[in-house]
Chain A
Amino acid sequence: MKSLFNSLRASSSFKGMHWLVTGFPYVWLLLFFVVPFLIVLKISFAEAAIAMPPFTDILSYAEQKLTINLNFGNYAYLFEDALYVDAYLGSLKFAAVSTLLCLLLGYPIAYTIARLQPAVRNVLLMLVVLPSWTSLLIRVYAWVGILKDNGFINNFLMWLGVIDQPLQIMYTPVSVYIGIVYAYLPFMVLPLYSNLVKHDVRLLEAASDLGAKPWMTFLTVTLPLSRAGIIAGAMLVFIPAVGEFVIPELLGGPSVLMIGKILWQEFFNNRDWPVASAVAMVMLAILTVPIVLFHHYQARDLEGRR
């Protein structure tokens, strides 16, 4: 009887601790990650007003009646004005092309590192990650000095005599692509590496023993096996790149339309919080599919399922 009581008490204290360990991060994320989205959704249906905070309340209680004033005008506005549609399409294009470029550059890097000796691997991997431990802002700033009209590239090419007029690279889509690929390359290499390093080299040997050319082996064995790494890396680049603000702001001129920049301007320059909220909600809706895809692979990885 006593032992039964003891084990009951032990299990209940164990349960209590479970609750505590789970509850603390759970409540934090619920309050500071999930609830904010509901509030953004709510405010996207409000109207801008000259007040503090600068929007109308969508719930009003007067004469013992609760009325909800949903204003769909913000969303209608986004689809009427070509600026927003172009900015969404522009962001998707910039993010997609940059993701592809990151993959083309990052795959050979990850592949090569994964095939080297373990001691060398760790050093090279650290060197890939190291730049992202310094500041993004400062690394993007470095490209301003390189790309601008009297920057290093133009000075060098003019000194060589290849060109006599500076090339306009800064404030064009090219400089934005360079910036995004540069900033996000480590996020492509890391998941690719951790996938590729687990491959069994004997599979490659078997393929070549059976007469496959190296390129054939790569296309039929390595590439299909690394699918999970490609998807994780691509999502880690694509999703944040769609909402990128710093890179188009510093490297792209006024002609480069990206939705992160538009959201920033709506919020800080126009002080139109409801439209900024609607911009964010539509962006989130567009990103739902990639986020779910990313979560699917990431959750599998986190839980150690292979």
Chain B
Amino acid sequence: MNNGPARISKFSYAALIVGFIFLYAPMLSLVIYSFNESRLVTVWAGFSTKWYGELFNDQQIMQAAWRSLQLAAFTATASTILGTLSAIVIVRFKRFRGRTAFTAMITAPLVMPEVITGLSLLLLFVSLGQWIGWPEGRGMHTIWIAHVTFTVAFVNVVISSRLQEMDISLEEAAMDLGANRVKTFFTITLPIISPALISGWLLAFTLSLDDLVVASFVSGPSSTTLPMVVFSSVRLGLSPKINALATILISLVSIAAFIGWWLMWRKERQRLRDIQDITSI
């Protein structure tokens, strides 16, 4: 196992710095120019927050944002439930008929090009509508099904890896003491894997909030999501309003990431302190 830091060359540090500049410079430019007075996004004309005001007064963007947030929350919840079930199947049920097909179905959506997923789901909905009369039209419900289907694969990866690391003897102890499988799952397994459930939920939430291609295929007339509005605006050219929207999004993600890091750090510090307490006795 790799426990300590090894020798690190100057080249490695240089690669790291170049990599991070490449990743963050474009995002930084979006944030800076969201405070630009001028309508021309790339010409600086003084500090202003007026584009934030315009953003919040844009009814179309605000409605789409609210719709997308609701959709993302419903998607993430369903996806976390399905992802947990499929992680249990993958990690714990080692032998059953159709297992190979199951692992194929749960890993393929990770890499499937979005245009293929979108087109195939749309054709499914149209055909189902013809054969059994459901779904009658397309709208939020069809986008929800599509989003759950492609996000569940990502949630499954997150929860599976946590489930693998977990000490299975804790479950065995609970069952030896008389708890049945359902009770063991809810009182032992679920609390242990709960950090993975939260990261899985957040991952599905952001994937759903970000999706343009799949939603464009399966949406209906009154279900324009935020990425669809942003896309049609961006196609027409740069707009400082989009910069303001991007800045809000980047801030929210950064805050969430910081909270996550801080919780982890606090837990780790507590653990180290506990170890110290034990060894000092």
Q: Number of B interface residues, CB 8 Å?
A: 103
Would B105 and A137 count as touching, CB distance under 8 A? no
The DSSP consensus for interface residues of chain B is: helix
Given A39-B123, A109-B16, A122-B261, verify A115-B227 contact (CB < 8 Å).
no
Judge whether B231 is part of the interface by a CB distance below 8 angstroms: yes
Given A36-B121, A185-B19, verify A22-B29 contact (CB < 8 Å).
no
Interface stretch, picked from A67-75, A76-84, A283-291, is A283-291
Closest A residue to B121 by CB, please name it.
Answer: A36
Provide the A113-139 mask, 1 if CB < 8 A to any CB of B, else 0: 111110100111011101101111111
Judge whether A61 is part of the interface by a CB distance below 8 angstroms: no
Interface stretch, picked from B47-55, B81-89, B189-197, B273-281, is B81-89
B83 to chain A, nearest CB (A): 8
Q: Which residues of A contact B91 (CB under 8 A)?
A: 302-304
Judge whether A159 is part of the interface by a CB distance below 8 angstroms: no
CA distance A148 to B122 in the complex (A): 35
Judge whether A280 is part of the interface by a CB distance below 8 angstroms: yes
CA distance A304 to B87 in the complex (A): 12
Q: Which residues of A contact B25 (CB under 8 A)?
A: 146
A sample of 10 more A-B contacts (CB under 8 A), given A29-B149, A137-B234, A155-B42, is A25-B82, A34-B105, A114-B2, A130-B257, A133-B257, A136-B212, A138-B246, A264-B115, A294-B107, A302-B107
Q: Which residues of B contact A (CB under 8 A)?
A: 1-6, 8-9, 11-13, 15-16, 18-20, 22-27, 29-30, 33, 41-43, 82, 85-86, 88-91, 93-94, 96, 98, 102-116, 119-121, 123-124, 126-127, 130, 145-146, 148-149, 152, 156-157, 160-161, 164, 181-182, 202-203, 206, 209-210, 212-213, 216-217, 227, 230-231, 234-235, 238, 242, 245-246, 249-250, 253-254, 256-257, 260-261, 264-265, 268
Q: Which residues of A contact B (CB under 8 A)?
A: 14, 17-18, 21-22, 24-26, 28-30, 32-37, 39-40, 43, 53, 105-106, 108-109, 111-117, 119, 122-124, 126-128, 130-131, 133-139, 141-146, 148, 150-152, 155, 182, 185-186, 197-201, 204, 214, 235-236, 239-240, 242-246, 249-250, 260, 263-264, 267-268, 273, 276-277, 280, 283-284, 287, 290-291, 294-295, 298-299, 302-304
